[in-house]
A = this chain, B = another copy of it.
Amino acid sequence: MILSKTTEYALNVLSFMATRNKEMYPAEYLYKELKIPRQYLRRLLTDLSRKGFITSIRGRNGGFVFSRDLSSINFAQVIEAMEGQEAMKTCLLGFTACIIDHPCVMHDLWTEARSKMIETLTNTSLADLKNKYEMDKDTIAQLNNSLIH
């Protein structure tokens, strides 16, 4: 039920980057916006670039950008990359071995719930998130407008 802090940070960073329209995201900027511990964040960013989600650009005016299209990155991929492949493949509750002694009695009890969750995580891309974010912004802007005028 709980992702590691590091995975949460990863989702935070990528979600943030996906919803802003900057050309470049230097670590220092992300640090100020997201308040993730500075050095830890930098390691995480390097890690995310090794994992192929973002690309690092060194030197002055450098920073990080997405290395592929937002629509090709979904939440399940990010979680899997951070937590390890097992995390999404095995029982959602993370049973490393089956509880009882023969083919895990638990598994099919929540197969449905489990697949629903994985489905959502797999079907939701950063592009979807971005769209949702902009729609929300518009709705709020219209609301403010109608209140003021």
Contact = CB atoms under 8 A, between A and B. Distances in A.
B2 A94 contact: yes
A148 to B, nearest CB: 18
Nearest to A19: B100
Q: Classify the secondary structure of A's interface with B.
A: helix
Contacts of A31: none
A119 B114 CA distance: 11
Interface string A78-101: 010001000110001111100110
A28 interface: no
Contacts of A95: 8, 11-12
A142 interface: no
Given A15-B99, A113-B116, A136 B105 contact: yes
Contact of A106 (B15, B93, B110, B112): B15
A124 interface: yes
A3 interface: yes
A1 B83 contact: yes
Contact of A96 (B8, B16, B92, B129): B8
